[in-house]
Structures are given as structure tokens and as C-alpha cells.
Amino acid sequence: QQKVQQSPESLIVPEGGMASLNCTSSDRNVDYFWWYRQHSGKSPKMLMSIFSNGEKEEGRFTVHLNKASLHTSLHIRDSQPSDSALYLCAASDDTNAYKVIFGKGTHLHVLP
């Protein structure tokens, strides 16, 4: 099945800093990407989706997508301790948009 790789595995940033998370697919058919956030002991919740090349911004969160390299990144500016969570990248391909595969995640720790 398609692979979704995330880096880094773990990231520590100071409060107010910028966090940058990366995600790449090894499947050339991948067409859709999502970012989910999962706080400890809770279920994943969709943060942002991106389906077209370029950039999308929502508040402190910005996602980029480069379809040619199948790479997406999530940037969190002015990071807050409440942003500490497991960030999951998910993808599906254009042959089956409903088969959603997740990466292993990036653990983000924001230190007060």
C-alpha cells in the first residue's frame, strides 16, 4: 500500500517559536493530503487539507504542497503549549480517494 513518511519523529520548540513538520508520499498516484492533530488520550481531528499545489493559511497554521515531489509541510507560527500533540499526515490517491493512509506522525512538544 502507499507509504506516507513523516519527519522529524519528534520536535521540540519554545513557546512562541515556529514548528515545521514534513510529509512525503512514495506513491506517485497520491493526490490528496490532510493534516490531523491528536492530543494525548484523544482521537485525531482534521486540522487542514490541501489538494492543490501551493500554500494555504488558517490562522497560525500554514500548509504547503508540492505535487511534483509529493511533499507537504505544516508550519505552526507562535507555537503554544496547547499545540503539543501528535501531528499526523494522511494521503489518498486519485484511483481511490476514500482509502486514506496515515503516516507515523510527528510528536510536537512546545515548551513554556
Q: Which residues partner with 14 through β-bridges?
A: 111
Residue with Cβ nearer another protein (6 or 73):
6
> Closest distance between another protein and the C-beta of residue 61, in Å?
15
Q: Measuring CA to CA, how many Å separate 83 from each of 15, 18, 36? A: 10, 11, 12
> Closest distance between another protein and the C-beta of residue 88, in Å?
5
Tell me which residues touch another protein (CB under 8 A): 1, 4, 6, 32, 34, 36, 42-46, 49, 51, 86, 88, 90, 92, 96-105, 107
> Closest distance between another protein and the C-beta of residue 76, in Å?
19
Residue with Cβ nearer another protein (8 or 16):
8
CA 86 – CA 105 distance, rounded (Å) = 6
CA 61 – CA 35 distance, rounded (Å) = 11
CA-nearest of 54, 40, 47, 52 to 88 is: 47
Residue with Cβ nearer another protein (43 or 82):
43
